[in-house]
Structure formats: C-alpha cells, structure tokens
Amino acid sequence: MMQSEFRQRREQFMAKIGTGTAILRSAPTAVMHNDVEYNFRQDSNFFYLTGFNEADAIAVLAPWHETHKFVLFVQPKDRDKETWSGYRIGVDAAKEQYGADEAYPISELDEKLTQYVEKADRIFYHLGRDRTFNQTVLDLWQRLMTTYEKKGTGPIAIEDPALLLHPLRQTKSASELALMRKAVAIAAEAHHLALEMRKPGCYEYEIQAEMERLFRLRGGVGAAYPSIVASGANACILHYTENNRQMQDGELLLVDAGCSYDYYNSDITRTYPVGNQFTAEQKILYELVLKAQLNAIEQVQPNNAWNLFHDASVRTIVEGLMSLGLLQGDIEEIIKEEKYKPFFMHGTGHWLGLDVHDVGIRQIGETWQTFQPGQVVTVEPGIYIRPDFQPFEGQPQVPDRWRGIGIRIEDDVLITETGHDVLTAAVPKTVEAMER
C-alpha cells in the first residue's frame, strides 16, 4: 500500500473531525504463555490511518493545528532492545517514512500530548482494552476541563470515532480490493486442496496443516482466523477449532478457512461429503443451504437494505425445512418468532476487510443501511442439527436420520455499481463438484 493512500485516508478522516483531535492507540501485545507473546498484529483503525505496524505507539490527528496535524509517538531506536525483539522504525523514520508532521519517543507522551488537545473542541477516542491508557486520556480531559471556563477552549466531549471512521473503512479502494483478491485466491487454492484431500481416515488437522501451509507458502501472513476443519457432528459447533478427529465415510466435512494477506482477509466455507457421495439426507440439506445462499447473494445489490439478504436466506431455509416436516405451522409466524433458530442460529453474513468481522454500520436506529459499491460482505447461511438437537418449543422432534449434519456455505461478495462480484467464485460448491 502506497503512503499516499494512508495520507489520503487521514485527510478524509480529518475533514470529518474538523476542530477535534483524534487519539489512536496501537494494538496491545498479548501474552501467549509466561514471557512469550503472540505475533503482533496492529489495530485495524490504527493501521488504516497510519500504515505503522509497531506496538506501543500513539497516533494523534489534529486538523486544526497549524503545523502538526499528524503526530506519532513511537518506541525509540534502541540497539539492545532491538537485538532481542526486532527492529524498530524509530522517531526519525516515523517522520520521514510515515509522513508524520512530528514524532516523539513514546516516553514523552504525557509531556507532549496536551498541546495537541487543549484547543480542540472534542476528543475522538475509542475506549480500548488498555485501561491504563484509557485513564491517561480521561486524566488529560479532566485536567483540561478544570480550566475550560477560564480559557474558553478545551474539549467538551469524548466521542468514539467509529461513526466517522468506519464508513471510510467500509468502502474498499482499488488497492485494498487487490489485496483482498489475493487473500481470496490463496484461500481458494487451499480449498481446492481440501476437496482433494478429504477422504475416510484423514484427520481434520491434516487438512488444516496443508491449507495453512499454503497460506504462508503463497506469501500470506497465515490463517485469517482459527481454521475450522469439522467432520461429522463437529460441523454443528460453529467455532470448532480442535481439528483433531479422524473422518469417517458417510460423514460431512465442513471447512471454514481464510487467509490473511498483507492485513486483508478472506473468509470461505465449504462442506464436502467425506466419501464421494452425499447421503440422501445430506444432499437434501446441502441443496437447501445452497439455494438459501444463492437467494441471499441475489439480494447483495447496490441500494438494497442490509437486512434483505438475511431475510432471503431465512425464508428459503424455513420453506425447505417446512416441506421436510422439520418445522411446522404458519411460515410468517415461524420467521417472526425465529422458530428456525435451533437450525440456523447465526446471521447470514458480515462485512469483510481489515478485520474478518469488519467494521461497518448495518443499522442506524430503525433504519437499515444500504449496500454500496466497494463494500465486501460474506454470505454464509447454514443448517446445523446436533445429535442432541432441541427443537423450538412446540415444534416436532427431528428424526435420527437428520441428526449430526452441519452445513455452511460461505462466499465473499463485492458490491459493484451494477450488482455484485462473487470474489470466491473459483471455489466449487455445486453438488456435482462436491461429489467426486
């Protein structure tokens, strides 16, 4: 990603915050065990506006400031520390390479931050998981408010930047889409591999290992989220990640795995028969989920309200389950009272981008937002019938032959000017393609 794109994003965001000051904190580091940390992954808002991917950094955006509109506080160069835990960009390069008007060592934060906030009329800050830093911002605010009436300036409110920043992230630029297509292409290749590998006797982790190997081999950062390789009844656990079971003939295998490529993500699910053939019940439910998914994708159109694609998949699934006798009663009542939820308990999709469950507004008050070109959404209906399935109160018990089946089909869909583009179209999902 070019620096000019980060600059352009900052300019767009600063035009919205006007006379306020935004303070952004880098992602916290997380302990894996004892003194070993997880790989660092920058906070997506911080990355989106700065491109700077180190820990222990603060970005300040003060559009009203005469000279220092973009300021970075970063870890200073330190030969000893860098020997142990990696190179640091340092204060000078933060200015030169990341376009900051001014940069300071993070140790000077308390001393230097005030000047970038005292004349702002509000602070844009997201209360994050770092309570110590939350307190730093609150203390600064408190201090500035004690002199507000005397000086006539100061921030009178703290506002979360979500409503101003997230709509920017929601619409993907050409270079963001190029990275997302790359993340999709790598994951698509991995899903082809899963289709080849899945056989009776294969362990779930063998497929996970080969897919994640490809994610790295093709230059990706790794899995976009813990890969789900779920055979048999494990497919009914939405976030199953143990991936340690040996698959058997006659079962299904649900694979939900996506790749992270240079900060952008793909998110793909396919459900295969472990042998070469679906059983009769598996095939009926597979075709139903596929129909629900295609009907939902049909609703992913510019200017369509967010709720329509979910409504389409729900209605298709309810109609199908009713015709199989697995749901009974009045269709409108079943939908309204969500009596289908024991079978289909999650939403039909989510925004996708820098975060797998990406930011973006779905609803303001009672009003659903509409899809707009450049947005990317997943479409992922499913049906899950656990062995110990409990129907909604008053609904029929499910005969044993349907139990232990879990199916989800998930694609990543870009909204275009004229309709949509299924980015993951190269990953097969027809019954014929699955049965081979």
Q: With binding defined as CB under 5 A, does residue 378 bind Mn ion?
A: yes
Minimum distance between the CB of residue 353 and Mn ion, rounded to whole angstroms? 12
Q: How many residues bind ligand GLY (CB under 6 A)?
A: 7
Q: With binding defined as CB under 6 A, does residue 412 bind ligand GLY?
A: no
Comparison of 304 and 378: residue with beta carbon closer to Mn ion: 378
Catalytic site includes residue 384: yes
Three-state DSSP class for residue 257: strand
Q: With binding defined as CB under 6 A, does residue 256 bind ligand GLY?
A: yes
* Rounded CA Rg of the chain: 25
Comparison of 256 and 355: residue with beta carbon closer to Mn ion: 256
Interface residue with ligand GLY among 267, 355, 358, 411 (CB under 6 A) is 267
C-alpha count within 13 angstroms, C-beta hemisphere, residue 193:
18
Catalytic site includes residue 408: yes
Rounded Cα distance between 321 and 330, Å, is 12
Residue 136 DSSP symbol: H
CB neighbour class for 162 (10 Å; exposed up to 12, middle 13-18, buried from 19): middle
Q: With binding defined as CB under 6 A, does residue 176 bind ligand GLY?
A: no
Minimum distance between the CB of residue 241 and ligand GLY, rounded to whole angstroms? 10
Minimum distance between the CB of residue 43 and ligand GLY, rounded to whole angstroms? 19
Minimum distance between the CB of residue 159 and ligand GLY, rounded to whole angstroms? 29
Q: With binding defined as CB under 6 A, does residue 380 bind ligand GLY?
A: yes
Give, in order, the Cα–Cα distances in Å from 124 to each of 115, 229, 314, 430. 15, 41, 38, 48
Q: Per the residue annotation, which of 33, 79, 131, 239 is the catalytic one? A: 239
Q: Per the residue annotation, which of 7, 68, 346, 403 is the catalytic one? A: 346
Three-state DSSP class for residue 412: strand
Q: Which of 105, 89, 84 is nearest to 35 (CA)?
A: 84
Q: Side chain identity at 334, as an amino acid letter?
A: I
Comparison of 43 and 256: residue with beta carbon closer to ligand GLY: 256
Count other Cβ atoms within 10 Å, centred on residue 75.
21
Catalytic site includes residue 191: no
Q: Per the residue annotation, which of 251, 380, 411, 412 is the catalytic one? A: 380
The encoded tokens of residue 221 equal 């950062």
CB neighbour class for 409 (10 Å; exposed up to 12, middle 13-18, buried from 19): buried
Q: With binding defined as CB under 5 A, does residue 231 bind Mn ion?
A: no
Options 165-173, 268-276, 278-286, 420-428: segment touching Mn ion (CB under 5 A): 268-276
In the complex, residue closest to ligand GLY by CB: 256
Rounded to a whole number of angstroms, the distance between the first and last alpha carbons of the chain is 40
Rounded Cα distance between 209 and 193, Å, is 11
Rounded Cα distance between 25 and 50, Å, is 11
Q: Per the residue annotation, which of 88, 166, 270, 408 is the catalytic one? A: 408
Options 159-167, 237-245, 359-367, 407-415: segment touching Mn ion (CB under 5 A): 407-415
Minimum distance between the CB of residue 68 and ligand GLY, rounded to whole angstroms? 40
Interface residue with ligand GLY among 40, 64, 203, 225 (CB under 6 A) is 225
Rounded Cα distance between 58 and 45, Å, is 12
Catalytic residues: 35, 239, 256, 267, 346, 350, 357, 380, 384, 408, 410
* Contacts to ligand GLY by CB under 6 A: 225, 256, 267, 350, 356, 380, 410
